[in-house]
A and B are shown apart, each in its own frame.
Chain A
């Protein structure tokens, strides 16, 4: 079940106009035009008891046209609003990257970088309470891939529903998750698995596929491709909610992997406005944990100064406030070490499927 109500076209346009309306009202009063936004840092996210995820708090920032940089942002936002309206009218969509290039023609409203256009699209989502899917904007990043005995229907380009089994109908690279995984595009049909394992690296995903781990452990495998795309987090959430499947997360053992997990389970800072829609609070972190590095005597690298900085920032991040995470972070800091998933290969190619994962899964009661 989707937590947020999808908006109609008219609602989307009305909400977008609201942004321009705020500017107009201010100018009519002789004030600098402005946009009001929640502060998007870790200092302004808090746990929402009702939704079970982290959301933006009450801190607001006003972006007004008193400095050149902010004024340009406002102008760009207006260009985007106009552009989205045009796309809605003509029933087209574009990627964020395409919009970035289209902005070349926006004169003083053109973007300085792709990152800027992505951030502004998110800003608009936040103030309009719409999703970028409503704006007809697609991300550039591709979604994840999945393998396992699960069946779904996908609406293809010709407008026909295609039934796909992610074990029998796909090759070794699995089923590619599209950017839009909402019900208008994907329907979850059936499955015969006990849990989904989300894996950080392609190398480890392929290792588990080659070793037949999905069959042996009766599970689905999903390749996150680093920091997971929205659609990846969204489909994990849907499978968790609609099929009631546990989500097990298997990552490298470093501060950045901790953040990947936080974005899957608790909500990402950048997208905290839609955490209830993307985050899976029941997801579990399987490894590599800081104590695994010692327990399995894994080949490791020294933490870089950036790693240490990231760990220290995590100590004060509300998402990592519980005791287990504080312990893990402090342990990694005192070890001064990090380890990759694939360092398990130290004990042979089958060690991960024969020993490590069974042991770790047994700890949380998921052994076959």
Chain B
């Protein structure tokens, strides 16, 4: 069991806090309130996520009579915390209690809510009031929590129990539902507006947490609401839970391998014969890494010539040999269950609900590995609307769904943005340097089990060529989406102008001319054909609120002198649960997501309309379609179908239907959970090459915690 270091200087906790407040996020007054909000909101989100609750979070900041003192009130509908655990959850400050287990978590980026309690106590001398309600109890409990900095223990006072509804009281917040937490902390801080504000932080949080409903109020000392905002829930699907997994061999570092070799997993006595036959080294490879099957473990250990050696006895050179074999081994990608990307559609929803605009292009890249840690990159680009066109685009950076608000310039995410040549994708990018300009905002999200920051302030991501490469690829992909969109917009605008010209202006010219000259009318059809001399196509994709279907109508005009015959093809979001509900012209499925209709011959000067409706989608899910055609001549507003690309699509589709190659998947055994505990340095630094010289990282094996009651973090190594 991980034990708190006896050597830790208890009395220095507040001193430690004071000394390190810059990387704990409490270095300036404006930042302190953001950090406090962030800790409270992160915890609320994490807790709700674990219990599959859709979070409702309200944040209130109240100005007080005292200058530079704010009251932070954060309330959620999470599972709540049992009365007996409140002290532990809020009152013990254990630095390093945020473990870097191989799993994506928000918590990597903060000190935790205890830091807020601590900061409150240090700056205003006030305890933090916590009201909690759990489902199985009928009443709520309210306590005041302070910290005994000598014993590093919570001091709980003023305990009250009451029926949940009563706790509403004068504050004007309403409890809805069965459970939740409310925190009221008075801290020294300053509220600031703008790019680095609580409001911006919450807005960004809501973008990457579309399953959450978040509200914000700023209230002055006279109870007047100064600012108010709400970001409603965009989806009812909570993000998938990130699972803990073992280390993936690719990109593993020698120091980590050496450390792992020192305490390898041992074969259980009653294991099945297949396991029993394995050597200890083979079992170590099989057991302590992810993505290594039994046969692979044999292959690697034999190739390294270390098959029969004991892991603990391996020398440095042996470890190096093993490492190179591990790196060269062909292995499946790391288990991505440990990552929780937001995913395309939800990024789209998140961005659209926060920023009013027309076009969103999103990309969720496949998970990759760097230094043994899986990571995944996501980028969303939103364009148009009211955003200013002559300003640098808005950059929204996130690491594991947590907004990064400071140090934009030095961050890997920004560097990747700047390295792409945005000019070719339709944004202004003077000199190809710096942040591109245009009416756009870009969301950049790195999900990883181990986010590397440039400094302890944890606001800027450190350089990493693998991540950089993925980011660039993702940005180019959204860039291509934008370029297509812009190209289509230009085409559409041109077509629209032509329509206005022949349908409105030309008849008016004609009427004026014959009125001035007092002449007989002349037929305009030949003139129109002369002016247009093309086939035009106009499409509309509309959401029908009553019937909850998406209706597409495609209107085609033949403004040429000859009859034209075409087949039209349209993209549509074919997937499970999405179907064509009305399609009067029939047609047939050409490929996945591509439908084709053969149109009757269109005579000169005539038009025809093709409509179909698609069900199973939500509003805003599908707004842009691509239309292709087969036939002679060009259609303005559609693209000639490239048969070679279609054939390629069909081949891929066929291939994906075939049963996949069977890969031996070894289920994780769950009776042991691997955790890493960072403890203050009490033993001599015995492992060279560690990241931080002040902290040793020890691996501990412990039984899985009792079913996690926790609201956050409890049972992750904070045992007494």
> CB within 8 Å of A: which of B474-506?
497-498, 500-501, 504-506
A68 touching B513 in the complex, CB below 8 Å, given contacts A28-B522, A32-B530: no
A82 touching B515 in the complex, CB below 8 Å, given contacts A30-B526, A30-B527, A107-B508: yes
- Pairwise interchain contact B501-A71, C-beta atoms closer than 8 A: yes
Question: How many angstroms between the C-alpha atoms of A32 and B510 in the bound complex?
Answer: 10
What would be 10 A-B contacts, judged by CB atoms less than 8 Å apart?
A: A17-B517, A23-B513, A30-B526, A30-B527, A33-B509, A33-B510, A65-B509, A75-B509, A75-B512, A78-B512
How distant is B648 from chain A, measured CB to nearest CB, in Å?
39
Contact partners of A107 in chain B: CB under 8 A: 508
Bits for B507-525, please: 1 = Cβ < 8 Å to A, else 0: 0111011111101001010
How distant is A27 from chain B, measured CB to nearest CB, in Å?
5
Residue in chain B with minimal CB distance to A28: B522
Residue in chain A with minimal CB distance to B496: A68
Bits for B525-536, please: 1 = Cβ < 8 Å to A, else 0: 011011100000
Question: How many angstroms between the C-alpha atoms of A67 and B531 in the bound complex?
Answer: 8
Contact partners of A66 in chain B: CB under 8 A: 531
- Pairwise interchain contact A78-B516, C-beta atoms closer than 8 A: yes
Residue in chain B with minimal CB distance to A26: B527
Question: How many angstroms between the C-alpha atoms of A218 and B510 in the bound complex?
Answer: 60
- Pairwise interchain contact A74-B501, C-beta atoms closer than 8 A: no
Bits for A1-44, please: 1 = Cβ < 8 Å to B, else 0: 00000000000000001001101100110111100000000000
Contact partners of A20 in chain B: CB under 8 A: 512-513, 516-517
- Pairwise interchain contact B501-A82, C-beta atoms closer than 8 A: no
Contact partners of A79 in chain B: CB under 8 A: 512
* Interface membership of A226, Cβ < 8 A: no
Question: How many angstroms between the C-alpha atoms of A65 and B500 in the bound complex?
Answer: 12
* Interface membership of A346, Cβ < 8 A: no
- Pairwise interchain contact A108-B516, C-beta atoms closer than 8 A: no
- Pairwise interchain contact B530-A31, C-beta atoms closer than 8 A: yes
The 7 closest A-B pairs by CB, nearest first: A30-B526, A78-B512, A68-B497, A71-B505, A20-B516, A68-B501, A28-B522
Q: Would you call the interface of chain A mostly helix, strand, loop, or mixed?
A: helix
- Pairwise interchain contact A108-B505, C-beta atoms closer than 8 A: yes
Bits for B131-160, please: 1 = Cβ < 8 Å to A, else 0: 000000000000000000000000000000
Contact partners of B512 in chain A: CB under 8 A: 20, 75, 78-79, 82, 109
Name the contact of A23 in the complex, choosing from B497, B505, B509, B524 (C-beta under 8 A).
Answer: B509
* Interface membership of A72, Cβ < 8 A: yes
- Pairwise interchain contact A78-B522, C-beta atoms closer than 8 A: no
15 new A-B contacts at CB < 8 Å, known A27-B522, A32-B527, A33-B509: A20-B517, A24-B514, A24-B517, A27-B527, A30-B526, A31-B527, A65-B501, A68-B498, A68-B505, A71-B509, A78-B509, A78-B512, A79-B512, A107-B508, A108-B505
Interface centre among A24, A81, A108 (most CB of B within 10 A): A24
Contact partners of A24 in chain B: CB under 8 A: 513-514, 517, 519, 522
Contact partners of B529 in chain A: CB under 8 A: 30
Residue in chain A with minimal CB distance to B526: A30
**Residue count of chain B within 8 Å CB distance of chain A:** 24
Q: How many A-B contacts are there with CB distance less than 8 Å?
A: 73
Contact partners of A33 in chain B: CB under 8 A: 506, 509-510, 513, 527
How distant is B209 from chain A, measured CB to nearest CB, in Å?
46
> CB within 8 Å of A: which of B606-620?
none
Contact partners of A21 in chain B: CB under 8 A: 517
Contact partners of A75 in chain B: CB under 8 A: 505, 508-509, 512
Residue in chain A with minimal CB distance to B514: A24
How distant is B526 from chain A, measured CB to nearest CB, in Å?
3
Contact partners of A17 in chain B: CB under 8 A: 516-517
Question: How many angstroms between the C-alpha atoms of A27 and B520 in the bound complex?
Answer: 12
A65 touching B531 in the complex, CB below 8 Å, given contacts A27-B522, A27-B524, A108-B504: yes
Interface centre among B497, B504, B515, B516 (most CB of A within 10 A): B516
Residue in chain A with minimal CB distance to B504: A108
Contact partners of B530 in chain A: CB under 8 A: 30-32
Contact partners of B506 in chain A: CB under 8 A: 33, 65, 71
Contact partners of B504 in chain A: CB under 8 A: 108
Contact partners of B497 in chain A: CB under 8 A: 67-68
Contact partners of B508 in chain A: CB under 8 A: 75, 107-109
Residue in chain B with minimal CB distance to A33: B509
Question: How many angstroms between the C-alpha atoms of A351 and B486 in the bound complex?
Answer: 63
Question: How many angstroms between the C-alpha atoms of A81 and B513 in the bound complex?
Answer: 10
Bits for A151-177, please: 1 = Cβ < 8 Å to B, else 0: 000000000000000000000000000
Contact partners of B510 in chain A: CB under 8 A: 27, 33
> CB within 8 Å of A: which of B641-675?
none
> CB within 8 Å of B: which of A75-110?
75, 78-79, 81-82, 85, 107-109
How distant is A75 from chain B, measured CB to nearest CB, in Å?
5
> CB within 8 Å of A: which of B592-628?
none
Contact partners of B500 in chain A: CB under 8 A: 68
Name the contact of A82 in the complex, choosing from B516, B522, B527 (C-beta under 8 A).
Answer: B516
Residue in chain B with minimal CB distance to A16: B516
How distant is A199 from chain B, measured CB to nearest CB, in Å?
41
Question: How many angstroms between the C-alpha atoms of A19 and B218 in the bound complex?
Answer: 67
Question: How many angstroms between the C-alpha atoms of A129 and B382 in the bound complex?
Answer: 54
How distant is B339 from chain A, measured CB to nearest CB, in Å?
51
How distant is A70 from chain B, measured CB to nearest CB, in Å?
9
Question: How many angstroms between the C-alpha atoms of A63 and B712 in the bound complex?
Answer: 73
Contact partners of B509 in chain A: CB under 8 A: 23, 33, 65, 71, 74-75, 78
Residue in chain A with minimal CB distance to B510: A27
Contact partners of A65 in chain B: CB under 8 A: 501, 505-506, 509, 531
How distant is B518 from chain A, measured CB to nearest CB, in Å?
10
Question: How many angstroms between the C-alpha atoms of A20 and B529 in the bound complex?
Answer: 21
Question: How many angstroms between the C-alpha atoms of A71 and B526 in the bound complex?
Answer: 16
Question: How many angstroms between the C-alpha atoms of A30 and B500 in the bound complex?
Answer: 19
- Pairwise interchain contact A72-B517, C-beta atoms closer than 8 A: no
Question: How many angstroms between the C-alpha atoms of A37 and B601 in the bound complex?
Answer: 42
Contact partners of A31 in chain B: CB under 8 A: 527, 530
